[in-house]
């Protein structure tokens, strides 16, 4: 395993991060602990979780993942594990998360971190991330910014503008938590270039904590990070934590071989609208065929592509079986040839970002 410095911090993290969002729903506690033990044995020191997990989010499973991870973490040398956590922001329908938070204000962020620390059985979280922006932005498969969503009436020309907690106030609360030793560094998730730049600018202007990382979707059929965001990350020294490198299994080839194959796509119908776009099956089939034509498994090609991109600091992988986990970690050792990379680019130009 290789390691890299995260942003402007002294944190050295493995290039692969173990995601945990299946724990407590698709994976039992015993299975989860087996995965965690194996990942650490392979040199992975970076574990990512969130108060909202497991997903899909449900009232009956909310917080189970953190409890499962906490039961494992209490028996580990804490200083050897880099732990990522996330605070959920306002989201319609999730009333079970702290009563349905209306904002990322001081009270909500504090309630989120206190709950997570208790469930994780630790005194601190290394990288604490805002799971999604509070303000109006396209997220989770949406791709168009709509000014009408800025207003209570739903129209751009009339109605009162919605209130949201300023980025400065969010940073001030996070600064308090750093001072108290409850978190070490801060990160963003599902964020847009404007948001990253505002967090960076305001932090510099008011001497507040700098953003360490951004956790966003990135894979062969969603390369939106390359349009503007990669330059922001490079110039501001912010690390990308790439999630969904296998595009909910679409890039493993299993749904090409059997559209009814077991997985989140078939198990949780209606979930992950990002991958319901018209060109997803066509593009997925093309990438699957490219891998097989070059005697590579589709999983190996998709993961290696993300693992070794210059702007990806660490890639968050997840699995529901040990077979999957072992294959995903082993893919790190494989480097794609220039020929395969060129063929990937040709397909990208033909099927550009079908799952934005």
pLDDT digits (tens, 9 = 90+) for 211-244: 999 999 999 999 999 999 999 999 999 999 999 9
What pLDDT is stored for residue 307 in this prediction? 98
**CB contact at 8 A, 242 and 16:** no
CA pair distance 103, 57, nearest whole angstrom: 18
What are the structural domain ranges in the chain? 3-247+302-334
For residues 250-265, average pLDDT: 90
For residues 303-309, average pLDDT: 98
What pLDDT is stored for residue 260 in this prediction? 85
Q: Which of 154-158, 263-267, 294-298 has the highest mean pLDDT?
A: 294-298
Share of the chain above pLDDT 70, in %: 100
What pLDDT is stored for residue 18 in this prediction? 98
Q: Is the pLDDT of residue 268 over 90?
A: no
For residues 87-107, average pLDDT: 91
What pLDDT is stored for residue 154 in this prediction? 66
**CB contact at 8 A, 323 and 38:** no
**CB contact at 8 A, 266 and 276:** no
Backbone angles phi, psi at 261, to 5 degrees: -60, 150
What pLDDT is stored for residue 102 in this prediction? 86
**CB contact at 8 A, 220 and 251:** yes
CA pair distance 67, 303, nearest whole angstrom: 29
Q: Considering the entire predicted model, what is its pTM?
A: 0.96
Q: Is the pLDDT of residue 277 over 70?
A: yes
- 86 or 257: which leads in pLDDT: 86
What number of residues does the chain have?
356
**CB contact at 8 A, 42 and 329:** yes
Q: Is the pLDDT of residue 253 over 80?
A: yes
Hey, which bits of the chain come out as E strands?
3-5, 12-14, 16-19, 46-48, 82-87, 125-130, 183-189, 211-217, 239-243, 312-317
The per-residue pLDDT of the chain, averaged, comes to 95
Q: Is 243 a catalytic residue?
A: no
In our burial notation (b when 16+ CB lie closer than 10 A, e otherwise), range 212-221 reads: bbbbbbbbbb
**CB contact at 8 A, 140 and 175:** no
Residue 338's pLDDT band (cuts 50, 70, 90):
very high
Closest C-alpha to 244, from 266, 216, 276, 213: 216
Q: Is the pLDDT of residue 295 over 80?
A: yes
**CB contact at 8 A, 21 and 55:** yes
Of the candidates 3, 23, 38, 53, the residue annotated as catalytic is: 53
For residues 16-29, average pLDDT: 97
What pLDDT is stored for residue 215 in this prediction? 98
CATH superfamily membership of 3-247+302-334: NADP-dependent oxidoreductase domain (3.20.20.100)
Tell me the pLDDT tens digit for each residue of 105-159: 999 999 999 999 999 999 999 999 999 999 999 988 889 999 988 888 767 777 7
What pLDDT is stored for residue 93 in this prediction? 84
CA–CA distance from 192 to each of 43, 67, 119, 143 (Å)?
31, 30, 30, 11
CA pair distance 93, 58, nearest whole angstrom: 10
In our burial notation (b when 16+ CB lie closer than 10 A, e otherwise), range 137-165 reads: bebeeeeeeeeeebbeeeeeeeeeeeebb
CA pair distance 157, 144, nearest whole angstrom: 18
Sequence-ordered list of residues with C-beta below 8 angstroms from that of 271, at least 6 positions apart, any chain? 55, 56, 264, 265
What pLDDT is stored for residue 152 in this prediction? 81
What pLDDT is stored for residue 262 in this prediction? 86
> Tokens for 70?
């906490």
For residues 189-211, average pLDDT: 98
């Amino acid at each position: 395993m290789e390691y890299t410095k995260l942003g402007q911090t002294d944190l050295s993290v493995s290039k692969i991060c173990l995601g945990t969002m299946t724990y407590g729903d698709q994976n039992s506690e015993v299975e989860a602990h087996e995965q965690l033990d194996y990942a650490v044995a392979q040199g992975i020191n970076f574990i990512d979780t969130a108060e909202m997990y497991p997903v899909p989010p449900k009232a009956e499973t909310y917080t189970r993942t953190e409890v499962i991870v906490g039961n494992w973490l209490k028996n580990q040398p804490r200083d050897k594990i880099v732990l990522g956590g996330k605070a959920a922001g306002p989201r319609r329908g999730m009333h079970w998360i702290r009563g349905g938070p209306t904002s990322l204000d001081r009270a909500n962020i504090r309630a989120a971190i206190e709950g997570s620390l208790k469930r994780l059985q630790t005194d601190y979280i290394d990288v604490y991330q805002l799971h999604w922006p509070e303000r109006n932005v396209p997220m989770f498969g949406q791709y168009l910014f709509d000014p009408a969503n800025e207003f209570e009436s739903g129209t751009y020309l009339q109605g009162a503008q919605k209130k949201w907690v300023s980025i400065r106030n969010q940073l001030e609360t996070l600064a308090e938590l750093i001072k108290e030793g409850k978190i070490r560094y801060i990160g963003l998730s599902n964020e847009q270039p404007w948001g990253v730049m505002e967090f960076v600018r305001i932090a510099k202007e008011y001497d507040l904590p700098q953003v360490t990382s951004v956790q966003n979707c990135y894979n062969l059929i969603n390369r939106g990070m390359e349009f503007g965001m990669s330059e922001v990350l490079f110039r501001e020294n912010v690390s990308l934590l790439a999630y969904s490198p296998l595009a909910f299994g679409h890039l493993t080839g299993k749904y090409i071989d059997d559209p009814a194959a077991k997985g989140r796509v078939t198990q949780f119908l209606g979930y992950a609208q990002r991958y319901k776009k018209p060109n997803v099956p066509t593009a997925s089939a093309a990438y699957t065929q490219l891998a097989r034509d070059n005697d590579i498994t589709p999983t190996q090609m998709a993961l290696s592509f993300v693992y070794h991109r210059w702007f990806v600091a660490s890639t968050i992988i997840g699995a529901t079986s040990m077979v999957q986990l072992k294959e995903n970690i082993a893919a790190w050792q494989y480097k794609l040839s220039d020929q395969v990379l060129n063929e990937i680019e040709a397909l990208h130009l033909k099927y550009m970002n079908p799952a934005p």
